[in-house]
Amino acid sequence: MLPVRILIVDDSVVVRKLLCEALASSPEVELAGTASSGAIALAKIPQLNPDVLTLDIEMPGLNGIQTLTEIRKLYPKLPVIMFSTLTERGAAITLEALTLGASDYVTKPSNSESLAKAMEHVRKELLAKIICLAQQRSPVKPAPTFAPIRNNPGGHRIEILAIGTSTGGPNALHEVIPHLPEDFPVPVVIVQHMPPLFTRLLAERLNSRSSLSVQEGEAGMPLKPGQVWIAPGNYHMTVERKGTRTALNLNQEPPENSCRPAVDVLFRSVAQIYGPSVLAVVMTGMGSDGARGAMHIREAGGGIVVQDETSSVVWGMPGAVVTAGVADKVCPLPEISQEIVRRVSFSRARVPDVPATQAK
């Protein structure tokens, strides 16, 4: 496989040097070039033909958002990774970039970190995303062999919707959550792989665009119909019984699949509490988080919908569920909200109400 050609766009000489040195040690990556501004980047793209581009957010002249907008007009399929600061402003702009078509993001090392730690941070966070996005873009991929998709088990009243997603997830969630109706009759729990602050801002953005109430998860909050909870960054989120009601719980137990929050953790808990009354959705994301949790949901009799490969930024997570043979429907992103509403409405129209404490 040829090395992935990367164009680094940042107005800081120090950051450009850091990125170049951090990536130089990998034989899988080749530096196509650097650019100190958005305008220079737009001029260099047709000359250098990069496979992936990293883009600073705050630059003089064309800022990151403006540059991204132009890139998407001219090169709609070119993977773009935003390089953002871990600040409220940086997180807010990064989320805007993701909704405008950025493929993913990496947070800049803090100023307090040593050069060695900063380079390790970049290698760990950035390298895997560059390679994965380049592979996803490649038109020549071996045809995967999947276990057969099983039929929807059906026959159970859906009492909770659980969603797991990662790379490309913020944009996917904006395509799904705002399209759920105001009278959506079950609670929604979500894991989106993001650090602290980002998850709160994501919840606020979704809340402003949705009929449903969307909030970052809080320990002890009861699960109510029409309420959407997003796991906070750096915390696993689970559901638990408290007497006759179910509520959220948070913990900082070790990461799973290198993630905290992890989809597997959430999915296991909803399978344990709600049994066959779970509808799970796995959308675009790198890696395989959610696949083992989906197996628990399938074993408990729940239903599982996954996003299709064509509409996914990265088909790692949904593809892993399909490969495991536990998905009962594969949908393009624009159809997922319709599939959710159809399943929930149909299940509740034909099956009498059963309290959550009796679901399993």
Q: For residue range 7-51, what is the model confidence (pLDDT) as tens digits?
A: 999 999 988 998 898 888 889 999 999 999 999 999 999 999 999
Q: Which residues are catalytic?
A: 166, 193, 289
The pTM score is 0.90
pLDDT tens digits for 49-97? 999 999 999 899 999 999 999 999 999 999 999 988 778 888 999 999 9
Distance CA 110, CA 128 (A): 20
Closest by CA to 255, choosing from 231, 234, 228, 277, is 234
pLDDT tens digits for 132-179? 998 876 554 444 545 555 554 557 899 999 999 999 999 999 999 999
Closest by CA to 86, choosing from 62, 63, 65, 113, is 113
Give the CA radius of gyration of the chain. 21
The whole-chain average pLDDT of the chain stands at 90
Distance CA 10, CA 12 (A): 5
Phi and psi torsions of 84, nearest 5°: -120, 160
> Strand 4-9's sheet: what is its strand order?
29-35, 4-9, 52-56, 80-84, 104-107
* Cis amide linkage into residue 261, ω under 30° from 0: yes
Distance CA 284, CA 317 (A): 6
pLDDT tens digits for 258-286? 999 999 999 999 999 999 999 999 999 99
Cross-strand bridge partners of residue 228: 188, 214
Q: What local confidence, expressed as pLDDT, does residue 225 receive? A: 96
With a cut of 60, say whether residue 187 has pLDDT above it.
yes
Tell me the pLDDT band of 242, cut-offs 50, 70 and 90. confident
- Which of these ranges, 17-31, 104-118, 324-338, has the smallest mean pLDDT? 104-118
What percentage of the chain exceeds 90 in pLDDT? Answer: 75
What token pair was written down for 215? 């909030």
Distance CA 18, CA 40 (A): 19
Burial 241-269 (b: 16+ CB within 10 A, else e): eeeeebbbbbeeeeebbebbbbbbbbbbb
Tell me the pLDDT band of 124, cut-offs 50, 70 and 90. confident
Q: Which domains are assigned to the chain?
A: 4-137 (3.40.50.2300), 160-358 (3.40.50.180)
